[in-house]
Structure 1
């Protein structure tokens, strides 16, 4: 069975069948439906290798992500893959585990597979990997990497706006002793979030005293450890903003183990707004960072590169606060569970 048989059955040219297979918008809906019906009835399976040789494209895009165990990244993959599928494009991904060496190897492997574009959605970069990319004409888009602006399209997250929303929310609840749980300083994304929190505190006029900044690991276990440190203080902060939701969930777990009630003893805010936020008790207030929007902007930036269309070098995403049950007015009960 070949493409000519499909064209004959649908009453169209082979070029029209090819356009339908490549999800071209140039085919009328009724014609495209007739072609898809013929494909189904004839059980036609396109030879992707042959199509790639003819077109010079692999119809394959690559993603680099930092941590497949963090629900943030599977969400990104799902949204990106859904969009790509609508355009007849396959997706492969590489998990770097926050390793620069694995980042470099991942770039090499994706280029060897002849991908039509690469979305780099990692916290880490490596000079070797970037040099490999510069040596090719493969379209590339980055997530929140200021060092590449001007050379590649970059999707930027306005962290300051997000943290300012969080600080304003806590101020309205009467909190002045606000702490921050940062990620590891080795990660550029964690460093940017820490700096954005401090900038938000300054913008809200709350930098008269040096704010508490605890260091975590962007994982649940790190949040549990910091909870022990925080609740052992003689005069702990009344509110804590975390660099991501995973650590905020760890703080919730640590508080529960210590018999401390959230939000009575501590108002708690996460970042990313993962599905976990509604699965824990109390439900976690969090700054929503849209994975769907990131995936959409990354995909269409790569599509523009494939089609040699003009690309915007800067694209800004604004987080917004989703208020749930983990924040409350300051000065409630002492926050200890009754034994």
Structure 2
């Protein structure tokens, strides 16, 4: 968020301010509130319809408000349909491909692997898919993966990534509308003005019917799981 001193200076100068999801609760400020819950709920319900019950979530850095919101949206969505969130299936990444690879390796140390993984952003999901390839795991036959953000690269992964879309075009339109409203306002608003932005699931080809007894996966010879070549600091264990 913005430092208080800078915020006060801009407000004193009557500079119109529009925040995305982190707006302070003060008069004269517009905030675009992203509905993470809607898209993540759709993702969880989609996976449940495909008979997934052991669903993991790879969160982003927990000092980020948006990462916390996405993690809580996942937990709430699971609870809404009566699915238990096992503590070992909540991982904390860093919104990078490398982080996705690292957290996937940790999940592969469990005795019972997840049949699906929802990621806090697309870069994490791409890292999960890359590391799954090293293990000889086929997506989506062995493992379903869902991302978040619908970045351009998500169209070109193999297979194309199912993801939660937060429309950048719609975000820009709402931001412009909010800015113009602030410029044209004759008197300061009494409180913070909220503008909602929805999220929606985009179905591609990285999700499928849950694999049966996937904890008994037979890894191909030469894959990371059989070669023992785990990322630095990790050794396969059972839990």
**1:321 counterpart = 2:231:** no
- Alignment check: 8 A CA contact 1:148 1:154 kept: no
Q: Deviations over 1:141-191 (max 9, x none)?
A: 111126437541111111111111011000000001111110001111111
- Structure 2 distance, partners of 1:257, 1:270, is 19
Task: Give the counterpart of 2:169 among 292, 297, 300.
Answer: 292
* Greater percentage in helix: 1
**1:331 counterpart = 2:211:** yes
- Alignment check: 8 A CA contact 1:228 1:254 kept: yes
Deviates more, 1:305-314 or 1:233-242: 305-314
Q: Deviations over 1:298-321 (max 9, x none)?
A: 012112222236888111111111
- Structure 1 distance, partners of 2:218, 2:153, is 23
Task: Give the counterpart of 1:194 among 44, 47, 71.
Answer: 71
| Per-residue deviation, 1:211 | 6.9
- Structure 1 distance, partners of 2:152, 2:181, is 31
Residues 40-119 of structure 1 correspond to what in structure 2 (within 5 A)? none
Structure 1 unmatched ranges of 5 or more: 1-123
Cα distance change, pair 183–266 in 1 and its aligned pair in 2 (3 A) = same
- Alignment check: 8 A CA contact 1:264 1:335 kept: no
- Alignment check: 8 A CA contact 2:55 2:114 kept: yes
**1:279 counterpart = 2:156:** yes
Q: Deviations over 1:262-300 (max 9, x none)?
A: 222221000011111111101100011100000111012
**SS in structure 2 opposite 1:148?**
coil
| Per-residue deviation, 1:196 | 1.4
Q: Deviations over 1:172-229 (max 9, x none)?
A: 0000111111000111111111111111112222247557210000111111111211
- Structure 2 distance, partners of 1:335, 1:164, is 32
Return the structure number with greater relative CO, CA threshold 8 A, min gap 6: 2
2:95 matched to which residue of 1? Answer: 218
Greater C-alpha radius of gyration? 1
- Alignment check: 8 A CA contact 1:261 1:336 kept: no
1:144 matched to which residue of 2? Answer: 21
1:111 matched to which residue of 2? Answer: none
**SS in structure 1 opposite 2:130?**
helix
TM-score (normalizing by structure 1): 0.59
Cα distance change, pair 325–236 in 1 and its aligned pair in 2 (3 A) = same
2:138 matched to which residue of 1? Answer: 261
- Structure 2 distance, partners of 1:211, 1:315, is 36
TM-score (normalizing by structure 2): 0.82
- Structure 1 distance, partners of 2:182, 2:27, is 15
Residues 10-21 of structure 1 correspond to what in structure 2 (within 5 A)? none
2:106 matched to which residue of 1? Answer: 229
